[in-house]
Chain A
Amino acid sequence: ETGVTQSPTHLIKTRGQQVTLRCSSQSGHNTVSWYQQALGQGPQFIFQYYREEENGRGNFPPRFSGLQFPNYSSELNVNALELDDSALYLCASSLSWGQGANTEAFFGQGTRLTVV
Chain B
Amino acid sequence: QKEVEQDPGPLSVPEGAIVSLNCTYSNSAFQYFMWYRQYSRKGPELLMYTYSSGNKEDGRFTAQVDKSSKYISLFIRDSQPSDSATYLCAMRDSGGYNKLIFGAGTRLAVHP
A76-116 interface (Cβ within 8 A of B): 90, 92, 94, 97-110, 112
Taking the closest CB of chain A, its distance from the CB of B1, in whole angstroms, is: 15
Q: Compute how far the CA of A94 lies from the CA of B94 in the bound complex, rounded to whole angstroms.
A: 15
> Max chain B CB contacts within 10 Å: which of A56, A105, A108?
A105
A-side interface residues, number (CB < 8 Å): 35
- Name B102's closest neighbour in chain A (CB-CB): A42
- Name A1's closest neighbour in chain B (CB-CB): B45
Residue from the list B44, B51, B90, B98 in contact with A48, Cβ < 8 A: B98
Cβ-closest 6 pairs across A and B = A42-B102, A56-B97, A97-B98, A107-B43, A109-B43, A99-B95
Given A35-B100, A94-B98, A107-B43, list of 6 further CB < 8 A pairs? A40-B8, A42-B6, A48-B98, A105-B98, A105-B100, A106-B46
